[in-house]
Structure formats: structure tokens, C-alpha cells
Amino acid sequence: MEVTTVSPSPASPAEGDNTCGIDITDVAIGGIMLIICLCGLAGNGALLCLLSFCRNPITVYIFHLAVADFIFLLFVATSLLLHLLEEVSCSTIMLQEYLRLFFQLSLFSYTTGLYLLTAVSIERCTSVLCPLWYRCHRPRHLSGFMSVLLWALPFVTVVSLCLSLKPQHCQVSLISMNALSLLLFAPAMVISSTILFIKVKCGSQQQQPKRLDIVILLTVLFVLPFTLPLSLWTLLQQFGYTIVSPQVVFSLACVHSTINPFIYFSVGSCRRPCSTECCRRPCSMGSLRKALLRVFGDTEENIACSNDPIMDIVLCAC
């Protein structure tokens, strides 16, 4: 099966000419994408190091999401670097088989990140709608179990089948995985985020929305224009349709994977207006550890457990 990779083949030298023609536009775009990927690798790497201080159901998903984004950016950055070296040296550095492998691995990590982001949105929506059940009756290791399952699902459908000797298995798996992303996970993420947004907006006017809710809403908001086009492009490519170049969809996906940790740090660094005096002061940039603690450290609802299932149902309906 022919799979379009991130990096196009290097330009061939013209006949009878010893010099190689370098596409300046292609090199410039590749360089910008490489810088974005490097920034994303630094941001997600810092996020992985700092998340060890806080362990709750949400941060388990966020940690795995950062791992998926880091792997995706690493494979894209490696492909871009090799492609830029090929453009400059006018020679083939990496074989097409390795480019295809990089494409499949980057698609695997990208899909896992999309699944994990859906789990984060549903998890937070459940904690807001049914706080008592979430606090008292939620399985303790549910986040870890779901994270492993969400890693295994695209691994089996993409890596295992695409590395087999039968190309038709890879095509069927790619179609199934991207259809699942577009028809199941993306709608579930949008619906749960919409419910969360309505619940936050309809809450008490005196109660400030939690930073975690703001982070989830912003992250999901960036998914629609930046991440889903890659799933749509991959799905259409399996049927022989190419509406845009792969550089465009991969660039958008790289921007989303890069911007996630900066959203966490930015929202956590701005202190809430607790008084009139605080409102006059600009948002001060605290340490990254404190910023993450402000975002993910208050996810537990301060409510007492009840042994009355009827009361649980009443509170969930509120």
C-alpha cells in the first residue's frame, strides 16, 4: 500500500547539471515545522517531569497524553530533519520503508493522543455531573486501565497490522481506526465538552470556573481545526482522495501537540482575582510546578461520601 509520508522526496537534479535545485519554500516550511516540533518536545518533556508531584484520575490521562504528544512530535521532527538534510545534500538518506514506518508510528501516537483527550473530557464531565458517584464509587484504577486500553487499541490496529506482510490489512486497519476517531471519539469529546461548558456557565455566578475546566475546553477547542484534519486526510487517502498536502495536516497536528503544555502553564500561571486589590495586579508568572498544581491540584470535589444510593441519584441529576 502506498502511504504518503510527511516528507516529500527530495528534488532531483536536472539532466546535465551538476548542481541540485533546492526548493526554498519547502525548506522554509520544513524548518518552521521543525522549530514547532522542538518547542513541543521541550514543553511536553517539562510536563512529564513536573507531573510526578500530582497523582489523580485526570493527571494520569494528562501524563499519557503528554507521552503520546512527545512521541508524535519526535517522529515528525526526525522525519523533517532527515528530509531537510536530503534537500540540502541532494541525496537519499532514508529509504521509503523507514519513512512509511515513521508515518505509521506517528499516526499511532497521534491517534492515542486523540483517544486520551476524549477520555479526559468524559472524565471531567462525569465528575461535574455526578460528583458524589465520582468521589465515592468510581473504580480507583480506572484511569490507568483506560490509558493502557487506549494505547493498545491503535497499537493493534495500526502498528501490528501495518507491519504485517499483507498490505490490505494495513488499509483496513487505517480505515477502521480513522472512522472510529471521526465517528465515535471526536463526537464523544465534543458532546462531553459541551455539557461541561453548559454546566460551568449555568453554575453560580459567584463561583469562578475551575482552571481544569478552562484547560479542557481550550484543548478541545483546538482539536477541531488542528487535529481532526489529519484523521480525515488519512481516511480519504485510503480511498484515493487527497484534498490537501500532508504538510498542512501534519503542521496543524504538530501545533496542537505543541500548544497543549503551554495552555496548562498559561492557565495555571494566572492567579484568580480574589479581591479588588488582586484585580489591579497583572497576572504573575509563577513556577511551572505551581502552575500545574493550580490546574490539576484541585480536581477532587470537597464533598462527603454517602451510603444512600437515592441521594446519589438526586445529586447526579442536580
pLDDT at 174 > cutoff 70: yes
Please answer whether residues 52 and 59 qualify as being in contact, where contact means their C-beta atoms are separated by less than 8 angstroms: no
Residues in the chain: 318
Q: Count the helix, strand and coil residues of the chain and give each as a percent rounded to the nearest 5.
A: 75, 0, 25
What's the confidence (pLDDT) of residue 311?
A: 39
Distance CA 107, CA 115 (A): 12
The one-letter amino acid at 278: C
Tally of CB atoms within 10 A around 232: 16
End-to-end CA distance of the chain: 53
pTM higher than 0.85 for the full model? no
Per-residue pLDDT band for 15 (boundaries 50, 70, 90) equals very low
Q: pLDDT, tens digit, for every residue of 48-93?
A: 988 876 678 899 999 999 999 999 999 999 989 988 888 887 777 6
Beta strand residue intervals within the chain, DSSP E: none
Of 32-41, 175-184, 235-244, 271-280, least confident by mean pLDDT is 271-280
Please answer whether residues 292 and 50 qualify as being in contact, where contact means their C-beta atoms are separated by less than 8 angstroms: yes
CATH superfamily for 24-153+181-234+245-268+286-298 is: Rhodopsin 7-helix transmembrane proteins (1.20.1070.10)
Which residues, 6+ apart, have CB-to-CB distance to 234 below 8 Å? 107, 174, 178
Of 28-37, 175-184, 237-246, 296-305, least confident by mean pLDDT is 296-305
User: What are the extents of the domains in the chain?
Assistant: 24-153+181-234+245-268+286-298
- Is residue 114 helix, strand or coil? helix
Please answer whether residues 254 and 36 qualify as being in contact, where contact means their C-beta atoms are separated by less than 8 angstroms: yes
What's the confidence (pLDDT) of residue 186?
A: 93
What's the confidence (pLDDT) of residue 315?
A: 37
Tally of CB atoms within 10 A around 8: 17
Tally of CB atoms within 10 A around 279: 9
Distance CA 138, CA 88 (A): 56
Distance CA 114, CA 256 (A): 11
Distance CA 122, CA 116 (A): 10
Please answer whether residues 92 and 163 qualify as being in contact, where contact means their C-beta atoms are separated by less than 8 angstroms: no
Q: pLDDT, tens digit, for every residue of 89-139?
A: 777 766 677 777 888 889 899 999 999 999 999 999 998 888 888 888 889
Nearest to 107 by CA among 31, 28, 4, 185: 4
Distance CA 203, CA 216 (A): 17
Per-residue pLDDT band for 205 (boundaries 50, 70, 90) equals low
